[in-house]
Amino acid sequence: NEGALWGGRFAGGPADALAALSKSTEFDWRLAPYDIAGSRAHARVLHTAGLLSEDELSGMLDALDRLEADVRSGAYAPSPSDEDVHGCLERGLIERAGANLGGKLRAGRSRNDQIATLGRMYLRDHASIIARNLLELVRALVEQARRHPYAPMPGRTHLQHAQPVLLSHHLLAHAWAVLRDVQRLADWDNRAAVSPYGSGALAGSSLGLDPNAVAAELGFDSAVFNSIDGTASRDVYAEFAWVCAMAAVDVSRMSEEVTTWATKEFSFVTLDDAYSTGSSIMPQKKNPDVAELARGKAGRLIGDLAGLLATLKGLPLAYNRDLQEDKEPVFDAIDQLEVLLPAVTGMMATLEFHTQRLAELAPQGFALATDVAEWLVRQGVPFREAHEISGEAVRVCEDEGIELWDLTDEQFTAISPHLTPGVREVLTVEGSLSSRNSQGGTAPDAVAQQLTELERQLAEL
Ligand code: ARG
């Protein structure tokens, strides 16, 4: 069992089947640079504690530098006999520093506190990449909103025409959701910025090593206050997986709209050629594959989260080998989002909106009926009665196959004497939109204020 991190108490090596099951280098090797950074910090606290001489420390750091260069160039990589990233890197260290010096680094640390720390470091780095990707999507949505400040569209509930809204208002609704995902990642980082290094296997170290020195060197705010919690908890991973899944779901919802909007029946948008695909048999096809893959990947990220939670559910404290299964779900969430988000951003940034058609459809389906009712309320009619009167107007229109604004003054007064010609002021899309001027409303002025607030929150990140 040459090269293994344990073996003294065993008479023989592990069965091939166990070794094959145990092995994690295919997925944990991506943590190698973090493992080496952890080793440097650990060497320094061993030195501070008097367990490595000055010469030994510099020899160790030099060997770690050479090892890191070989890892980065690919000259050093896991061999079939390496169980995990930690064992493989110890082998590489001993090859470079010799068994005497290389064998000293493991004192006072365990793979249990190491892996918990490296995972957090990796997630923190990728959280900031994903946050940047999400911010680019927010900016693409804001850009589209700015390009169409006054264009109306049919606002929907239950997918049915509800009330006219500004296209910019609708696009910014997606922007807010994605912005919150970015804010969540920033908030998550407060909990992720705590280092488990120094927790040892589960109980801490007897060697006088300073966990806060390691934490500071590795970019953490502090070290954990409980070594069992440090090695056994993975809620930070699960929270990360949830935020990733939520971001994917937000992107999936906007993508579902894009696929609908791009149909012949809706004809709200044309997809840019660079963000659509053709068919191998149907020459006319232009398919929204980016949007569909976004929907598909959202399902996959939900699976990553659910799988991770299921792994954690039955685990007693402290470390259990089940926790080796914590990495692939979060790595997968990262890999998927990092390839998905730039494509979705490109798709949203290059969407061409058919504003003429959107404007024509905006008032249809009696989308101004609420405006009639609210106009009546402003004239002093109780809403209950106003709702009835407006509903009656819709019924008359439906019978005659006309729209609300086609009703004559006589028809209006026949429905209710309250319906004087003044009601026509809200029977236009512009009148309807500009009347909804409360904070958060779709009136152009309110949307302009909304944009200012959104930009303010973006600047805070
Ligand atoms: N490969 C392990 C993991 O990913 C590292 C920790 C192993 N610890 C142990 N005592 N076997 O969790």
Instruction: Give pLDDT tens digits for 42-72.
Output: 999 999 999 999 999 999 999 999 999 999 9
432 lines ligand 1 (CB under 6 A): no
37 lines ligand 1 (CB under 6 A): no
pLDDT average, residue stretch 355-370: 96
Q: Which residue puts its alpha carbon closest to atom 12 of ligand 1?
A: 324
175 C-alpha vs ligand 1 centroid, how far in Å?
40
For the CA of 323, the closest atom of ligand 1 is 12
Using CA atoms, how far apart are residues 90 and 193, in angstroms rounded to an integer?
Answer: 26
- What's the pLDDT tens digit per position in 252-266? 999 999 999 999 999
Percent of the chain at pLDDT > 90 equals 95
Q: What is the pLDDT of residue 312?
A: 98
Selecting among 58, 222, 267, 279, the annotated active-site residue is 279
CATH superfamily membership of 16-107: Fumarase/aspartase (N-terminal domain) (1.10.275.10)
For the CA of 28, the closest atom of ligand 1 is 4
321 lines ligand 1 (CB under 6 A): yes
Please give the helix or strand (H or E) that residue 39 lies within, else none.
Answer: helix 32-48
Helices (H), 148-279: 167-192, 211-217, 227-232, 235-261
115 C-alpha vs ligand 1 centroid, how far in Å?
7
Q: Which residue puts its alpha carbon closest to atom 5 of ligand 1?
A: 111
Q: Is residue 279 annotated as part of the catalytic site, yes or no? A: yes
Q: What is the pLDDT of residue 259?
A: 98
311 lines ligand 1 (CB under 6 A): no
pLDDT average, residue stretch 116-139: 98
Domain 361-453 has CATH 1.10.40.30: yes
For the CA of 85, the closest atom of ligand 1 is 1
The answer on pLDDT for 1 being more than 60 is: no
Q: Hey, what are 31's tokens?
A: 């943590």
111 C-alpha vs ligand 1 centroid, how far in Å?
6
68 C-beta neighbours (distance < 10 Å), count:
20
The answer on pLDDT for 219 being more than 90 is: yes
Residue with tokens 């208002």: 169
pLDDT average, residue stretch 221-230: 98
Q: Is residue 128 annotated as part of the catalytic site, yes or no? A: no
Average pLDDT, the chain: 96
Residue 10 pLDDT level (bands cut at 50, 70, 90): confident
For the CA of 84, the closest atom of ligand 1 is 1
Q: What is the distance of C-alpha 234 from the center of its chain?
A: 18
408: left (phi over 0), alpha (psi -120 to 50) or beta: beta
Residue 401 pLDDT level (bands cut at 50, 70, 90): very high
The answer on pLDDT for 2 being more than 60 is: no
The answer on pLDDT for 251 being more than 60 is: yes
How buried is 248 (Cβ within 10 angstroms: 0-12 exposed, 13-18 middle, 19+ buried)? buried
Question: What ipTM did this prediction achieve?
Answer: 0.96
How buried is 85 (Cβ within 10 angstroms: 0-12 exposed, 13-18 middle, 19+ buried)? buried
Looking at CATH, the fold of the domain delimited by 112-150+163-191+224-355 is given as Fumarase C; Chain A, domain 2 (1.20.200)
Q: Which residue puts its alpha carbon closest to atom 2 of ligand 1?
A: 324
Selecting among 73, 158, 206, 280, the annotated active-site residue is 158
pLDDT average, residue stretch 195-205: 97
Q: Are strands 269-270 and 222-223 parallel, antiparallel or unpaired?
A: unpaired
pLDDT average, residue stretch 214-235: 98
pLDDT average, residue stretch 134-155: 98
Q: Which residue puts its alpha carbon closest to atom 11 of ligand 1?
A: 321
Using CA atoms, how far apart are residues 199 and 108, in angstroms rounded to an integer?
Answer: 9
Return the best residue to mutate from 26, 112, 197 for the ligand 1 pocket (most ligand atoms within 8 A of CB).
112
Domain map (residue ranges) of the chain? 16-107, 112-150+163-191+224-355, 361-453
Q: What is the pLDDT of residue 3?
A: 61
115 lines ligand 1 (CB under 6 A): yes
Decide which of 4 and 170 is more confident.
Answer: 170
40 C-alpha vs ligand 1 centroid, how far in Å?
20
pLDDT average, residue stretch 376-404: 96
For the CA of 24, the closest atom of ligand 1 is 1
76 C-alpha vs ligand 1 centroid, how far in Å?
21
Q: Which residue puts its alpha carbon closest to atom 7 of ligand 1?
A: 111
